[in-house]
């Protein structure tokens, strides 16, 4: 029998990690529960006016802060999420709301192997961002105990990791959600070019980090850069594993004067 090509075997192995069958919400009476029973936070309006326009650096394709209103920082500020240790914290308390520069990486969920790879890349880049005066923040979907699993097994610094079990931040920012985005979007193919990084990141992976609310696995993430309350850069992941380039994000941060 003919052997499968190496690149085919590699693709199969990666898909088995990133799109684990047991993470797919179970069918009940033939209906896929793609919506959480919890009410969704209203998505911020994408309408803009000249009075609300903010001068922003030139951004990448599919990465634009202009679809968000000028007061998006204020809208997010009073949202309560959790530290990985389980303490409630307001979004506006995660960094200096006057002049602080922060990169907010919204992971899909704590049981997503591709998000373990992104978290690993964030950890490796932390010293570079720290030296530029930029705070790195990672938020994932799931309860704090699920965040702790990722933090302990990857490992990842607990003081940079937060949990949004109700997906409040994700919903307000209008990040993509659904079966098509999660399992069938062409943008997910880019994960194959990062196979070695993914394989290394999931050496201590466990599916126990997956949220108990299985509908949460259909959530996509994104990457955002703030200076104080001002949103400078926004990128929504088109599909699973479609992460922003941290080099590009760092370049955006370096164009921002740090007080």
pLDDT, tens only, 204-230: 999 999 999 999 999 999 999 999 999
Residues 6+ apart with CB under 8 A from 191: 14, 18, 114, 117, 198, 240, 241, 242
pLDDT beyond 60 at 31: no
Count the neighbouring beta carbons within 10 Å of the beta carbon of residue 66. 14
d(CA 52, CA 71): 8
pLDDT in tens, 91-114: 999 999 999 999 999 999 999 999
The pTM assigned to this predicted structure is 0.78
d(CA 164, CA 73): 17
**Structure-model confidence comparison of residues 172 and 31, the more confident one:** 172
Nearest residue to 117 (alpha-carbon basis) of 55, 225, 195: 195
Residues 6+ apart with CB under 8 A from 115: 107, 108, 109, 140, 150, 221
d(CA 258, CA 101): 7
pLDDT score at 43: 55
Beta strands in 117-229 (DSSP E): 134-141, 161-163, 222-227
Residues 6+ apart with CB under 8 A from 52: 69, 70, 71
Burial 3-18 (b: 16+ CB within 10 A, else e): eeeeeeeebeebeebb
d(CA 79, CA 81): 7
pLDDT beyond 90 at 58: no
- pLDDT confidence bin for 35, thresholds 50/70/90: very low
Average pLDDT estimate for 119-129: 98
DSSP 71: T
- pLDDT confidence bin for 65, thresholds 50/70/90: confident
Nearest residue to 107 (alpha-carbon basis) of 125, 128, 122: 122
pLDDT beyond 90 at 27: no
pLDDT score at 75: 96
**Structure-model confidence comparison of residues 6 and 89, the more confident one:** 89
Residues 6+ apart with CB under 8 A from 65: 54, 56, 59, 231, 232, 233, 234
Average pLDDT estimate for 51-59: 34
**214: alpha, beta or left? (left if phi > 0; alpha if psi -120 to 50):** alpha
What is the average pLDDT score of the chain? 83
| 80-83, strands of its sheet edge to edge | 88-90, 80-83, 161-163, 134-141, 101-109, 222-227, 230-236
pLDDT in tens, 15-24: 444 545 445 4
Average pLDDT estimate for 19-38: 43
């Amino acid at each position: 029998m003919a052997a499968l090509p190496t690149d085919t075997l590699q693709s199969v192995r990666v898909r088995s990690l990133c799109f684990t069958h047991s993470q797919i919400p179970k069918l009940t009476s033939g209906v896929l529960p793609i919506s959480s029973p919890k009410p969704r936070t209203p998505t911020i309006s994408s309408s803009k006016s000249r009075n609300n326009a903010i001068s922003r650096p030139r951004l990448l394709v599919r990465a634009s802060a202009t679809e968000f209103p000028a007061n998006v920082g204020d809208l997010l500020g009073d949202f309560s999420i959790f530290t990985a240790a389980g303490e409630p914290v307001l979004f506006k308390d995660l960094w200096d709301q006057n002049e602080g520069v922060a990169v907010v990486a919204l992971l899909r969920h704590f049981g997503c192997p591709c998000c373990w790879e992104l978290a690993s890349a964030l950890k490796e880049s932390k010293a570079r961002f720290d030296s530029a005066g930029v705070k790195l923040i990672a938020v994932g979907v799931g309860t704090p105990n699920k965040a702790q699993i990722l933090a302990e097994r990857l490992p990842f610094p607990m003081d940079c990791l937060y949990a949004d079990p109700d997906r409040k931040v994700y919903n307000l920012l209008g990040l993509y959600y659904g079966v098509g985005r999660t399992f069938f979007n062409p943008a997910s193919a880019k994960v194959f070019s990062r196979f070695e990084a993914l394989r290394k990141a999931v050496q201590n992976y466990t599916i126990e980090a997956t949220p108990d609310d299985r509908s949460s696995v259909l959530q996509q993430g994104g990457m955002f850069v703030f200076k104080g309350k001002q949103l400078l850069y926004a990128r929504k992941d088109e599909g699973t594993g479609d992460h922003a380039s941290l080099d590009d994000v760092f370049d955006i941060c370096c164009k921002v004067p740090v007080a």
